[in-house]
Amino acid sequence: MSPRYYLITGILVVVLTMVISAWQEKRTPREVFGVLCRVVLSIALVVGALLGFARLLAVLGIAESGFFL
C-alpha cells in the first residue's frame, strides 16, 4: 500500500477525533483518547466489513477473486 493512503487515513482519524471531541465537549486528554479509540475501532470495523463483503461476493461467484470495493 502506498504511504499516501496511510497519511490520508491518519489525517482522517485525527480530524474525526477533533471534530467529535469538540462536538461532545470532551476536554481532558483521557476523554479525547477515548474518542480516538472509538474512531479507530469504527474505521477498522467499516474496512473489515467491506473486505468481508468483497470476499463473500468472491466466494459466491458474483465477483472475481481479488475484487475490492
First to last CA, the chain: 15
pLDDT value for 65: 76
pLDDT value for 36: 96
Mean pLDDT of 40-53: 94
pLDDT value for 38: 96
d(CA 13, CA 17): 6
pLDDT value for 58: 86
Q: Where are the domains of the chain?
A: 3-59
pLDDT value for 37: 97
Place of cell 466489513: 49
d(CA 36, CA 51): 23
The grid cell for 27 is 476536554
Plot region of 18 (φ>0 → left; ψ -120 to 50 → alpha; else → beta): alpha
